[in-house]
Amino acid sequence: DWRMGDYVTEAVARIREQVGQDHVILGLSGGVDSSVAAALIHKAIGDQLTCVFVDHGLLRLNEAALVMDMFAGRLHAKVRHVDAGAQFLGHLTGVTDPEAKRKIIGREFVEVFQAEASSLVDARWLAQGTIYPDVVESGGAKTKKSKTIKSHHNVGGLPETLGLSLLEPLRELFKDEVRELGLVLGLPPEMVYRHPFPGPGLGVRILGEVKAEYAELLRRADDIFIQELRSTRDEATGKTWYDLTSQAFAVFLPVRSVGVMGDYRTYEHVVALRAVQTTDFMTADWAPLPMALLKKASSRIINEVRGINRVVYDISSKPPSTIEWE
């Protein structure tokens, strides 16, 4: 698209002018907004940008490898991969309350990011993938200078603490424009059209206490479900069910139910599959996935993930249910 091409040229010039020779840090989450911001800023200033990817151990299967391959591997950007899984899990031990879990994850995230950021002594700017709807949501549209921090990145207060200025090159763009920009910058469609993933990650998809072994089972079940959504097309539209849903994932239920496998009785955990269709995430309908897709996802999960012997499909809409289970 030529308009987006022009936009890139302009945005690159603006970023260069804004930061000059300074160094910039950016928290890369693997989500669309921070990925597009990283690709754009990297195009503008190359090695003056350092991305910090905080891996809290509650990411999806292969997430860290995907992010590192894309940004360090293909784009040759400077990326620090901070493997903080053990630290996060340690602080979550014994914690079952959903809001308490969110708080802990948010607090640890700030701490880890801050430690990384302050070790980059040259950094003068903190870049964020804030987009126009985030600006409006927090009332910042009127006051252009308001220091909006995207809440789910949980880095509120960081620029002040670190003495950094904010760089938000996507502030004027809507989500569809951000996606288009990502494509023009060479990011793959799978990355640009990804479902949203909550900041606390699997931390709120493992009900109750978060344990490493639960996260391991959930990651594998979730990955199978996503594979099936990506590989099953709707005949009427020709689109995949991944593209026909707004968000889809597996949830780990820390209860056990009885099953049989061969001659044995099993007593293992349950996974719920959730897939919703929505435009604004404020209301959402459960997705009418084809029976064949559900059947295949269920039998693959039960056969391939030892420790799960039952799969259920969530048929609740929002409201009164929420999209996530916690």
Nearer to ligand XMP, 301 or 323 (CB): 323
Min dist CB 102 to ligand XMP, Å, is: 5
What is the spatial distance between Cα 326 and Cα 311, in angstroms, rounded to a whole number? 18
Gyration radius from the chain CA atoms: 21
Min dist CB 115 to ligand XMP, Å, is: 22
Q: In terms of C-beta density within 10 A (0-12 exposed, 13-18 middle, 19 or more buried), how is residue 276 classed?
A: buried
Min dist CB 29 to ligand XMP, Å, is: 9
For β-strands 23-27 and 165-167, DSSP reports them as unpaired
* 30 known ligand binder: yes
Min dist CB 168 to ligand XMP, Å, is: 17
Q: Say if residues 248 and 229 touch (Cβ distance below 8 Å).
A: yes
For the chain, the distance separating the N- and C-terminal CA atoms, rounded to the nearest angstrom, is 40
Nearer to ligand XMP, 140 or 201 (CB): 201
* H/E element, 83: strand 78-83
Nearer to ligand XMP, 224 or 323 (CB): 323
Nearer to ligand XMP, 22 or 324 (CB): 324
Residue nearest ligand XMP (C-beta atom): 152
Nearer to ligand XMP, 79 or 251 (CB): 251
* 55 known ligand binder: no
Nearer to ligand XMP, 78 or 150 (CB): 150
User: 227-231 contacts: CB < 8 A, separation 24 or more?
Assistant: 228/293, 228/296, 228/297, 228/300, 229/275, 229/289, 229/293
* 34 known ligand binder: yes
State the amino acid at position 321 in one-letter form: S
Per-position b or e across 170-189, b if 16+ CB within 10 A of its CB: bbebeeebbbbbbbbbebee
Residue 113: name the closest of 196, 56, 37 by CA: 56
Q: Under the rule (CB under 6 A), what is the footprint of ligand XMP? A: 102, 152, 196, 198-200, 247, 281, 318, 322-324
Nearer to ligand XMP, 165 or 321 (CB): 321
Please list, in sequence order, all residues whose beta carbon lies within 8 angstroms of the beta carbon of residue 9, skipping any fewer than 6 positions away.
none
The length of the chain, given as a count of residues: 326
Min dist CB 56 to ligand XMP, Å, is: 12
For β-strands 247-261 and 264-277, DSSP reports them as antiparallel
Residue 260: CB atoms within 10 A of its CB come to 9
- Residue list, annotated binding site for ATP: 29-35
- Residue list, annotated binding site: 29-35
